[in-house]
Amino acid sequence: MKSNTSNTPTEPNASSSAQEKPDSVVRDGAVQTNPQADGNSRRDFLKKLALGAGGLGLLGGAANPVIARKQPVMPAGNATITDENTAFHFAHLTDMHVRRLRKGHEGYAQCIASVNALDPAPELVLMGGDMAFDGLYNEKDDFIDMIDLFTSASNQLNMPWYGCIGNHDVLGLSARRKVPADDPDIGKGMIMEATGMPSPYYSFNHNGWHFVVLDTIHQVQAEHGPGYVGRIGEEQLEWLRFDLGAHAGMPTVCVMHIAAFCNTGQISGDPEARAMNHMVVDDNRALREILERHGVKAVLQGHSHQIEDYYYNGIWYITSQSVSAAWWGGNWRGFKPGYTVLAAGKDGSLNWWRQEFEWEHQLEPGDTLERERMAERADFEREQRRLYEIEIGRRQR
C-alpha cells in the first residue's frame, strides 16, 4: 500500500496485474536487478523501478524497425483510444511548479486526479522537471515545503512515477540564491533524495520498452558562485551511448527538461531570436547524433510551457504543455493546464495526444502583470473569432 505522507515516490498498488514481473534499473552504466539500497528514498525508488513487465530479458527479440505515429489531439475528457496494437499507456507531466502561491498545490492535485481518472489507465508517469517552484530564488525552508507539496500529491498517483530534474528543482544555482554559496545542500541533492532518484540521470525498462531520464541542468562555477547551464555534458553523453547500446533493439523514449529542439523565435516571429538559446541544451547536436544512431523513438521535453511536435531524422521531439500553464497564473500563450498521454505499441509504434484538466487559476492580489496578460489573450482570441466569422461568412454568401 502507498503511504500518504512519504516524501519518496509512491509504491504502486501490489494488486496491479500489469506490473507483476520485476524489471531492472540501469545506473552509471551498470545493470542492477536487485541493488542494495542505501537509504529509504533509494530503496523505495528501486522498488518502484522493479515493477515493469519487460526487463533486460527482452533484448533479444525486439529488433523490428519502429516508426512514431502522431495521434491527433483529442478533446479533454476523451482520453480513450481503441487500438489492439497498444501494449500500454503512459503519461508525461512537466513544469508542475508546485507551490502554495496561487494555490498551485491544489491545481496539481487536480492534475493528479485527472491522471488517475484516465481510461485506459497509464501504467507509469514520467515527470518532466520543474516539479517544485523553486529552489533557485527561495529560502531553503520554503523550497523544502514546495518539494513536500509535490511529492505528497504525486504519491496519490495510482501508478509508479519517475522524476526528472528541471532548472527550478535545484537549490541555489543562481546569482539570486537565498542560501549561502557554500551551503552543503546547493545543487540537486534535495530533490533527488525527496523523489528517490538514484542518480541525476538513469534508465529503466517497462513492458518491452526502454526509458531514459536525462539531466539537462549542468552545474558550473560562475562568477557569482554555483550556477548551471542547459547541457547534457560529456560524461552523461558517454553514459547514454552505452546505455542505448546495451538496450539495442528495444523501442526507446527519452525524457529531458530543457529541450533539444524549441522554436520559440519562429513561434514569436522574432527575427533577432537566436536558434541556440537558453531554451535548448547547448550540446543538442551531440545528443541528437547519439539518439539517431540508436533509433530512439521520441524525446519528451518541457521548459517552454507550450506544445511543440518536431520530427527530425526519425525522431519525434514532443514538448508537452505545462501542468501549471503560466506558473498557475493563467493560461500560457493559449495553452491550458495539461499534459501528454502516450500509447506504446506492441510493434514499437508510438501514439500520443494532449489532455487538459479543469482548473480555475487563483491569482494573488499583486498579480497585476498576470491579469494584464490574461486580458490581452482574451482580446486576441475574441479578435481571432471575429475574423474567422467574417472569413467563413464570405464563403457562405
- Which of 53-62, 69-78, 372-381 reaches the highest mean pLDDT? 372-381
Let me know if residue 28 belongs to a domain: no
Residue 6 has a CB neighbour count (10 Å cut-off) of 17
For range 12-20, the mean pLDDT = 33
Predicted pLDDT of residue 327? 93
Three-state SS sequence of 288-306 = HHHHHHCCCCEEEECCCCC
Predicted pLDDT of residue 296? 98
Q: Kindly state the percentage of the chain with pLDDT values over 90.
A: 73
Predicted confidence band at 84 (pLDDT cuts at 50, 70, 90)?
A: confident
pLDDT at 91 over 80: yes
DSSP assignment string, 29-48 = TEEESSPPPSSHHHHHHHHH
Beta-bridge partners for 210: 205, 252
Residue of higher predicted confidence among 64 and 226: 226
Predicted pLDDT of residue 268? 87
What is residue 171's DSSP assignment? B
What is residue 22's DSSP assignment? -
**What are the φ and ψ backbone dihedral angles of 42, each rounded to 5 degrees?**
-65, -45
From the number of C-beta atoms within 10 Å of its C-beta (0-12, 13-18, 19+), residue 4 rates as: exposed
Let me know if residue 5 belongs to a domain: no
pLDDT at 208 over 50: yes
Let me know if residue 82 belongs to a domain: yes
Predicted pLDDT of residue 59? 26
pLDDT at 73 over 50: no
Contact 208, 54 (CB under 8 A): yes
Predicted pLDDT of residue 38? 38
For range 331-343, the mean pLDDT = 94
Let me know if residue 387 belongs to a domain: yes
Predicted pLDDT of residue 8? 32
Same domain, 270 and 385: no
Same domain, 383 and 237: no
Let me know if residue 18 belongs to a domain: no
Look at 22-26, 205-209, 320-324 and tell me which has the smallest mean pLDDT.
22-26
For range 100-111, the mean pLDDT = 97
Predicted pLDDT of residue 321? 96
Cα distance between residue 306 and residue 354, in whole Å: 11
Same domain, 277 and 386: no
Same domain, 157 and 218: yes
User: For the segment 126-152, what is each residue's pLDDT rounded down to a tens digit?
Assistant: 999 999 999 999 999 999 999 999 999
Pull the grid cell for residue 24. Answer: 531492472
Predicted pLDDT of residue 81? 43
In this structure, which amino acid lies at residue 28? D
Residues of the domain holding 139? 42-364
pTM of the model: 0.81
Predicted pLDDT of residue 78? 36
Same domain, 267 and 394: no
For range 349-361, the mean pLDDT = 95
Number of compact structural domains in the chain: 2
Pull the grid cell for residue 385. Answer: 473569432
| Closest among 263, 222, 208 to 90, alpha carbons compared | 208
Let me know if residue 31 belongs to a domain: no
Same domain, 306 and 230: yes
Same domain, 383 and 248: no
Let me know if residue 129 belongs to a domain: yes
Same domain, 70 and 191: yes
Contact 68, 297 (CB under 8 A): yes
Cα distance between residue 288 and residue 294, in whole Å: 10
Alpha-carbon 256 to chain mean position: 7
User: For the segment 236-247, what is each residue's pLDDT rounded down to a tens digit?
Assistant: 999 999 999 999
Same domain, 259 and 385: no
Q: CATH number of the domain that 252 lies in?
A: 3.60.21.10
Predicted confidence band at 333 (pLDDT cuts at 50, 70, 90)?
A: confident
pLDDT at 36 over 60: no
Let me know if residue 14 belongs to a domain: no
348: phi > 0 → left, psi -120 to 50 → alpha, else beta; which?
Answer: left
Long-range contacts of 57-61 (CB under 8 A, 24+ apart): 58/205, 58/208, 58/250, 59/247, 59/248, 59/249, 59/250, 60/249, 61/249
Predicted confidence band at 265 (pLDDT cuts at 50, 70, 90)?
A: confident
Its sign, for the CA torsion 342, 343, 345, 351, is negative
pLDDT at 68 over 50: no
For range 221-250, the mean pLDDT = 97
Same domain, 302 and 384: no
Its sign, for the CA torsion 233, 235, 241, 246, is negative
Same domain, 70 and 94: yes
What is residue 204's DSSP assignment? E
For range 56-73, the mean pLDDT = 33
pLDDT at 1 over 80: no
Same domain, 271 and 393: no
Predicted confidence band at 397 (pLDDT cuts at 50, 70, 90)?
A: low
Cα distance between residue 198 and residue 204, in whole Å: 12
